Amino acid sequence: MTHLFFHNDIDGVMSAAIFAHKTGILKSMEYVLHGMNTSSRGSRFAGLINSINKEPIIILDYEYNDKATLWIDHHQNGMFGLDPVLNDSICYDARAQSAASLVFKYLESVGHKMEPELNSVLNAVNMIDSASYPDVQFIFKDKSPMMILRAFLEAAFPYEMMFNRCVEVISACECNIEKANKVLNIDGSYVDMIEKEALKIKNKIEIYGNFSLVRQKYAYQHPRYAEYYVANSMYNMRVSSENSSEMRVNISYNKWSGKKNNLNIGTYCSTSKFVKRGGGHYNVGGGIIDKSRLDEFLDSFSILVEDK
């Protein structure tokens, strides 16, 4: 059995689907798909990997593990730094717009020819994962196939089995997203749904100088970028309960704020004395903090970004 791990977002799903489509690994039915939450990084993920004995392990758009037969990722990793790596078992570049773009790069390096029609798929994934939307309204209005799929993952937040199903269907449809959406019974109503949900955040935002705070009952309670749809703070932070003693924190930069970001959020989250198991990219990151230190953490971050 080949074990294929992928991050459970558009980039991870499409990375896995493109890889499966071009390599044909799903056709043998000798595989196990693992759609991984961000919160499963660290010891939980290591435990899953260590439970696999002598079977191929492929990790796409997720945390590095030295047991991996192949690892493809663009999340900044302290072990590898910022220099790109490309060999038989690793394709890493922290500057890449998406992991899917690195899947392309790896597949081409081992002799796979990428069809021209896949370029439009890759462009859409790059736009979504790097938040290169023309404006924030595009996120909650556009009904192109990939944006509909994105909205479905935001609105429904499916269980792991649904992410796995998406990978299987998209791969079987040769990465034709419009066709895959029809098979999965996904339509533009999901875009309308996330817009409706985004507007609900308006009365829940707390503003502290250059950043806004949203306290969530649970992770993913509100659609991504909802705060930027109704407000214009330079940075946003979301906090939600992780367990009885810890909270999950997510921080993002609002590229539509009209202000330049001079804070590497991923580095901040991986090095802050308050954040555990943290990391991310230049403009977005997150991790775990102790509930007892939340106020101290908020005060510290407010001071840090007040002059950014």
Boundaries of every domain in the chain: 2-187, 197-305
Phi and psi of 16, rounded to 5°?
-65, -40
How many Å apart are CA 23 and CA 14, to the nearest integer?
14
Question: Is this model's pTM higher than 0.75 or not?
Answer: yes
Average pLDDT taken over every residue of the chain:
93
On the question of a common fold for 2-187 and 197-305, the answer reads: no
- Say how far apart CA 92 and CA 99 lie, in whole Å: 8
Evaluate whether 294 touches 238 at the Cβ level (below 8 Å).
no
CATH 3.10.310.30 matches 197-305:
yes
| Distance spanning both ends of the chain, measured CA to CA | 50
Query: What are the tens digits of pLDDT across the range 160-174?
Result: 789 999 999 999 999
Q: Answer yes or no: is pLDDT of 251 > 80.
A: yes
**Residue owning tokens 């269907």:** 169
Pick among 1.10.10, 1.10.3470, 3.90.1530, 3.90.1640: CATH of 2-187: 3.90.1640
Q: Which structure tokens are listed for 198?
A: 């985004």
Q: What is the mean pLDDT of residues 143-161?
A: 88
pLDDT of 307 > 70? The answer is no
